Structure 1
Amino acid sequence: MTSHDALPRTARAAVSHGRGRLSGRLVLVNLSIPAAPVALFLAGLLVTGGETNLQVLITLGSLLLACLVVCGISLARWLTTRYRLTAERFELRSGLFLRSRRTIPINRIRAVDLTANPVHRIFGLTTLRIDADGQGAPAGRGLRLDGLTKADAAELRSLIIERRDRDHARNAVDGDGLVSELDRSWIRYAPLTVWGVGSVLAGAGSVYRTLHEMKIDPLELGVVKDLVNRFGSVPLWYGVLLATLAVAALGVACSTATFIESWSGYELRRTEGGVLRIRRGLLATRSVTIEEDRLRGVELIEPIPLRWAKGAKLNAVAGGLGDREENRRRRALTPPIPRDEVLRVAAEVLPASASPEERNLLTRDGLAPHPRAALRRRINRALTAAIAIAAVPIGLGLWLDPALVTIGWITGLALAAALTALAYDAYRTLGHAVRGRYLAIACGAFAHRTVVLRREGIIGWNITRSPFQRRAGLLTLGATVSAGDGVYKVRDVSVARGLALAEAAVPGMLAPFVERDPAAGR
């Protein structure tokens, strides 16, 4: 056991009856906040060739004032924040005018994570976050200590976990071993995400809006004028092609840069006490812990570009990861990597007691198919979407130019073929099965999703039937769990099979709500 004499000064204070406090280096971090508007002003002078106007000065002055206010609030938080770790609870006090005191019982703590943004890393600081459930858990985003040194944060986390695990009646399997770590060859999967192009377009929109607010016309900038002079006389189709290629190239670059920043140093490790720990990040480091007894399953995701390259990524379906938005940021177990590697990691993440059949559920082999009525529904939706899109140019052509009618027909036929193929692929993905202690659900069109849930983690069923589903004799069965997305749906399954699946997964849960037909004898 760790000796108190061997602990850093602030960690010893947290353990004793005294109170720990944030690092003094946080003052330097706070003083760097006003540097942002100054750097923005200098960048603006560089772009505009040294010209400025009153609107720019007012905008940057307002931003500087806001940064000074934030700096003052942060300094007050540094002066007033005190924390203490006792045998029964973790206490946090903060606030100058509005004082706050929060307490979390040790046995309610579910996760202790460390993160560090680029500025914190420069000064050797990190943020410790404590997540809890039940009574005593703070509302909102959880309890955070923003501004501990790396040594103090690591030591404090180990002490919290040690005391929590000492008090818990745990059945988790102990172990300490590396499950997966970064392979540089995985970077080839980085461009195969759609977020790169989206981030380029979003960034361009933000820059344009900022310049517009500062009364700067982007078309009057020297760089833009040079591009117009060089390509202004080219045909429209050539300009559109060049713009598309440029956006795609920037999107690939952004996706690759995001992958490198997010997943550098990636390591998935099973630590002592049955805890999965994910560490990753180049500029902003992240460390997420997931207790195996809070793990309700795993989810395999295969978006279209990754699927073409035989890649995938793996998410945890686990409790204790915050609200839905925070859960989406923290649930990733792997980056986009080869599908075979994902299946290997998933097999190791599942409890050691899982059988080979249970571990192979993510491969979708042997999943029960859904009725043909589900295929007809998807094809009908695909054709409806194609007709709705094609109707726009056809309608304009009947009113303005007959050439648009031809374009509309070509567009409609192409979309009908592409969306019908996508609908058939989505139908082939549908499947479900109950094997041992697990329920497997597969669905998805643009991204195939296969989730494997522990049956004992299912706390309810959510059954929905649209008018079209009732005509086709189908229903959607949602498995409710206190983790992940909350509800995982078996879409467009027949009524008899859906009810049988619910009974097989959790016997007796639906029995009080099912009306039997005496005439049919069931």
Structure 2
Amino acid sequence: MSAVAEQAAGRQEVPSSVSTTTAWQRLSARIIWADLAISVLSVLPAAAAIVFFDGDTTGGQLWPLIGLAVVGVVGAIFDVMRWTYTRFRITETFVELKTGVIWRQHRSIQRDRIRSVDTAAKLRHRLARMRVVNIGAGQQAATGESALSLDALSAADALALQNELHKDAALPGDTSETTSDDGHQSPAAQHCNEPVRVLARFEPSWFIYNMFNIWAYVLALGLGWGSLWLVSSVGFDLYGFLARLLDWESIGLAGSVLIAVVGVGAFGAVGLGVLYFTENWNLELARVSGRDGTMLRTRKGLFTRREIIRDESRIRGAQISQPVLWRWMGASDTSVITTGLDQWAASDPAAIIPRGPRKRAQAVAGAVLGATENPFELDLHSHPCRALWRRLWWATLFAVVIGAALTVLAVTGVIPYQAIWGVLIVWPLCLLAALVAYRALGHKINENYVIMRSGLLNRATTVLERSAVSTIVIRESVLQRWLKLRTVSAMTAAGDGGYDAPDMDRLDSLQFALEAAPGLLDPFVAASHGLADEHGLSATKAGASPS
């Protein structure tokens, strides 16, 4: 009898196809029919073109369509082989997956080490009522690890599998404490007895924040190249049409370049706007009851529907970053600092909402942290003016290097001597960048969090739980030592692993380090009275934990 065959109170019955068993199971056979339909659809354009051109392929127009048909058929064949040689099973202690034709792999994850069970569905999966289930255990792409991916299960079996792997979930009303395996108590544990609480929904007006990006040109060039060979396959000369559209000789080279940059950028911006709607359609960020307390769940997507679930007991903080070119719009990227997620995944599972206005990002990030006082809305302490001098020194040095390089190129005849005057443009821009970088600096410590802000190209405000700080690193360069500055880094097992508060005053850096990680540095400071005296602190003050 299945371990989950009985109906639990408030819980859905799990089909036997994904129940806890020692028998190996297959993926959904619907994938075969979906791939068969894809292979037929990929062949149709080439077949229609052959009929249209009466079999004439001498012009080479049909080869792209024939190549598309070959890719579709070969992909379908590989998917059928993958289905044939793939097996999985869910036991009481393990999730196991066997796959591969030539190179066989047998992978397993202990169920008590599972950190995420996410689902995704591309358009073909949704039409066939299938889902892709990704089971992760805090893997890191940098080490070559990956989640177990079941591609694909029926929608009902995918939901049942999620229930099976989370069958120990805390039911509403369960007020047990939420503690991770490193002994960390999440502030979100107080919400474990709440029903589903929606923190953010899809905002159509945010498309304006996601249209202006350097990737607009990459997208436009990719779409333009694809459109060029696609229309050329039916005999339409797109390049010639554009060449006859305007009198490019009378416009001149500069005007032509300007029109091309603006046109390509506008085309790419529209593409990014459409991409925003397709990726984030019907977005919902909600706090739901989970296995050990509460879970942060994201659902989004129009053609490809994705669901990401994050265990809030593993969330150690949040970060709001503002790209420099979009800072005037108030555009912000919002993500959580958590363990158990691949920070380098293309899907960016740490991002909780798409790029949007800063005020809204602060409100959502504060709600996720569950703090009484939103740490993102606090006024931060400024850094000393010596930090600005350090940046001005580096800006001037950079301008000098650029000027020296231009001089060498002018002497060797590569560029005209007039180009050396370009350093008069570079130097003020560097000084302005130094001022912007200095204005970004800030830090503060409140009862539960360490708040740090820095960055030129990407101004990031990081809020990290004090109890999550595992290591404190204090370092100073030669120039910092001369200016009496230090950089304090708070290291943690979550997110990027470490977050910096650069160019703090030397007298404040040790006290900041002591308060950032209560009790962590006390044995070292208390054992060295000289270190405390150097910073103007008494031995009692240096060795005491801050309240």
Choose which of 518, 533, 542 in structure 2 pairs with 1:521: 533
Q: Are residue 266 (structure 1) and residue 286 (structure 2) matched?
A: no
Choose which of 232, 247, 255 in structure 2 pairs with 1:238: 255
Choose which of 337, 346, 364 in structure 2 pairs with 1:317: 337
Alignment check: 8 A CA contact 1:275 1:292 kept: yes
- Mapping 1:4-15, distance limit 5 Å: 11-15=15-19
> What's the CA shift for 1:223?
2.0
Alignment correspondent of 1:460: 471
| Letter aligned with residue 472 of structure 1 | L
Choose which of 128, 132, 138 in structure 2 pairs with 1:127: 132
Alignment correspondent of 1:437: 448
Distance 1:364 1:259 in 2: 31
Q: Secondary structure at the match of 1:27?
A: helix
Distance 2:177 2:138 in 1: 16
Alignment correspondent of 2:376: 362
> What's the CA shift for 1:202?
6.2
Q: Secondary structure at the match of 2:115?
A: strand
> What's the CA shift for 1:511?
5.3
Distance 1:142 1:125 in 2: 19
Q: Deviations over 1:250-307 (max 9, x none)?
A: 2311221221122111110001131010111122221111111000100011113432
Change (3 A) 1:452 1:519: closer
Distance 2:330 2:531 in 1: 51
Q: Are residue 158 (structure 1) and residue 169 (structure 2) matched?
A: no
Alignment correspondent of 2:115: 110
Q: Are residue 337 (structure 1) and residue 345 (structure 2) matched?
A: no
Identity of aligned residues (%): 28
Alignment correspondent of 1:483: 494
Alignment correspondent of 1:383: 396
Change (3 A) 1:35 1:408: farther
Distance 2:128 2:208 in 1: 33
Change (3 A) 1:35 1:9: farther
Q: Secondary structure at the match of 1:162?
A: coil
> What's the CA shift for 1:38?
5.3
Distance 1:265 1:130 in 2: 24
> What's the CA shift for 1:463?
4.0
- Mapping 1:122-521, distance limit 5 Å: 122-133=127-138, 140-163=145-168, 170=178, 172=189, 173-174=191-192, 175=194, 176-201=196-221, 222-229=237-244, 230-233=246-249, 234-273=251-290, 274-322=294-342, 324-326=343-345, 329-351=348-370, 354-356=371-373, 359=374, 361-365=375-379, 367-389=380-402, 395-397=408-410, 400=413, 404-409=416-421, 411-510=422-521, 516=528, 518=530, 521=533
Distance 1:191 1:44 in 2: 36
Alignment check: 8 A CA contact 1:312 1:342 kept: yes
What's the Cα RMSD here? 4.1
| Letter aligned with residue 200 of structure 2 | S
Q: Which runs of 5+ in 2 are unaligned?
A: 180-188, 535-547
Distance 2:61 2:469 in 1: 56
Alignment check: 8 A CA contact 2:204 2:277 kept: no
| Letter aligned with residue 109 of structure 2 | I
Alignment correspondent of 1:214: none
| Letter aligned with residue 242 of structure 2 | L
Alignment check: 8 A CA contact 1:106 1:163 kept: no
Q: Deviations over 1:337-387 (max 9, x none)?
A: 222211111121113xx331xx2x22351x222222321222233334444
Change (3 A) 1:371 1:8: closer
> What's the CA shift for 1:396?
4.6
Q: Which runs of 5+ in 1 are unaligned?
A: 212-216
Distance 2:160 2:518 in 1: 45
Alignment correspondent of 2:539: none
> What's the CA shift for 1:246?
1.1
Alignment check: 8 A CA contact 2:28 2:153 kept: yes
Change (3 A) 1:510 1:150: same
Change (3 A) 1:53 1:445: farther
Alignment check: 8 A CA contact 1:34 1:64 kept: yes
Q: Secondary structure at the match of 1:368?
A: coil
| Letter aligned with residue 380 of structure 1 | W
TM-score, normalised to structure 2, is 0.79
Alignment check: 8 A CA contact 1:315 1:334 kept: yes
Distance 2:472 2:501 in 1: 11
| Letter aligned with residue 154 of structure 2 | T
Alignment check: 8 A CA contact 1:364 1:442 kept: no
Choose which of 28, 46, 49 in structure 2 pairs with 1:23: 28
Alignment correspondent of 1:82: 87
Change (3 A) 1:251 1:414: farther
TM-score, normalised to structure 1, is 0.82
